[in-house]
Amino acid sequence: MRFTLTVIALFLSVSLAFSEKNPLYEGFSFIEKGEYQRAFSTFSSVKGDVPERFAGMGISKYMQKDYANAIVYLKTALKSKKESEKWVTNYFTALSLFELKRYEEAIPYFEMVVRKKKLPEAVFKMAICLEMTGDLDSAKRLLDLALELDPKMLDAYLEISNLYIKQNKLAEAWSVVDKALSLFPDNPKLMYQRAKLLFISGKIDEAEKQLELAMKNEKDAGMLSLYSSITNSKKATKKEVAEKPLPKTESPQFLYFQENKYFLISLVFICLGLIIFSGFYHHRKGLAEKLVYLEELLKKNDVVGAEEILNQIADVMPKKVPLLAAKLYVLKNDFDTAYKNCNNIPDNDKRLLMEGLIYCYFGKKEELKKQIAVVESAGLVKHVELLKLSSFEDKKDVLSKILEL
C-alpha cells in the first residue's frame, strides 16, 4: 500500500534521533526492509515501558497480519500522551481494528488521523466504517472527500456506486461507473460493476457480455457469483419459453365446428388459464413451504440448512431475503453482516425494530438508546415498549424476538 512507505518514513525520521546501534532505530530499519519478525524481536529486546517500543511491536505485528496482537501493543503505546498524539500510531490501530471488522471501534482512531493528515486511504477506510455502521450520508461525504484528495482512487468510485445501489439510486450509480470507466477503460472491476448494474436493470444478455470481458483478465468471488445468477436467470427464461403450449392450428377434420369456433376458442383459453394458474399456485405454494421450513430451521439454530434454503429463494423472493439474512447472521454471531442486511429490509417499521433488537442482542447499549429514540420519534409505540423490555442479560429472549419478527 502507498501509505506504508509514508508511515515508515515518518517513524524512521523520528528514530534517526537515536544512535544507529539503538534497538529502536534497528527495529524501524528492519520494518523498512520488510523483515517484520526481526523488527518485532528487536523491539522486544528494548527494556522498560518505552512507548516507541510498543508502537514498533504493534506495527511489526500488523505487517505480519497478526491484527489482534497488533492492537494490544498499539493501544499500550497510545496510553502515553506523547504517542497518543502521533497520527501514525493511531492509524495502525485503526487499520488493525478495520481488518478485524471492528468498524465502530476504528472510527475514533481514523478521525484523529484525518484531522491531522488527510490521507486518502484513511478517509476512504473511515467511510467504509461509517457505511458498515449504518451512517450512509457521512460515508458518502467522506468518499467524495477521498476522491477530491485522490481523483484516481478506483476503490472510492466502486464504493460510491455500491452505496447508490443499496439506496436503489441506479441513475447515480451509472453516472459514477461511467466516470470511472473514462479514467480506467479496461479495468475488470469497473466492467464487473457495469455488468452488475446491467443485470439489476434486467439487461441480462448485455450483462453477460460485459461480465465475460471483465473475467478475461480477472476472476473473483463476486464475478463468479454474478455469472451464476446470470446463467440461472437465462435458464429460467428458456424454461418459461419451452413450457409455453404451442398455438393450436385448425384441422380440416374439425371444420364442421366452424360455427362454434368462438365457443371452442373460449374453452381453450379457459383451460390454458387454469393450467397457468395451477402452475403459478404450485410454484407459490412451493416457495411458501420453503419460507416456513426456513423459519423452522432458524428457530432450531440450523445455520447450514437455513443458509441453503435462503440461497434457493434469494433470486425469486428478494424482498424477503434481507430480514431472513439478518436473522441468519445473528445466529452466526456476525453483528456487522446482520446489521448490514437490515439496511435493505423494505418494511421501515420492521427495519427499525430489527436494528434495535440486534443492538440489544450484541450488547451495544449506546446504540440501542439512540435507536429507541429513533423508533419513538417514528411513533412506533409497541416497538418502543418491546425494545425497552428487552434485556442485555437475557440473550435467549432477545434472540427469540428476533426470530419471531
Among 135, 62, 130, 73, smallest CA distance to 100 is for 62
- Terminal Cα-to-Cα distance of the chain (whole angstroms): 44
The per-residue pLDDT for 403 is 85
How far is CA 212 from each of CA 207, 321, 339, rounded to the nearest angstrom? 9, 28, 33
What pLDDT was estimated at residue 271? 52
268: pLDDT confidence band, cut at 50, 70 and 90? low
pLDDT band, very low/low/confident/very high, at 16 (cuts 50, 70, 90): very low
Q: Which residues are CB-contacts of 30 (< 8 A; sequence separation ≥ 6)?
A: 36, 38, 39, 42
**Distance between CA atoms of residues 246 and 152, nearest Å:** 55
User: Average pLDDT, whole number, for the chain?
Assistant: 81
Cα separation, 155 vs 121, whole angstroms: 10
Residue 203 and residue 207: Cα distance in Å, rounded?
6
Position 267 confidence tier, pLDDT thresholds 50, 70, 90: low
pTM: 0.58
With 90 as the cut, is the pLDDT of residue 79 above it? Answer: yes
Assess contact for 76 and 57: CB atoms under 8 A. Answer: no
Residues contacting residue 192 through CB under 8 Å, at least 6 positions apart: 210, 211, 214, 215, 222, 223, 226
- pLDDT band, very low/low/confident/very high, at 255 (cuts 50, 70, 90): very low
Q: What is the dihedral of CA 78, 82, 84, 88, to 10 degrees?
A: -100
Instruction: State the sign of the Cα–Cα–Cα–Cα dihedral 157, 159, 160, 164.
Output: positive
Q: Which grid coordinates belong to 142?
A: 467522506
C-alpha cell, 181 = 470507466
CA-CA distance, 341 to 160, in Å (whole number)? 18
Please, are residues 123 and 142 in contact by the beta-carbon 8 Å criterion?
yes
User: What domains can you pick out in the chain, each with its CATH number?
Assistant: 2-179 (1.25.40.10), 318-404 (no CATH)
Look at residues 1, 70, 57, 69 and name the one whose alpha carbon lies nearest to residue 30. 57
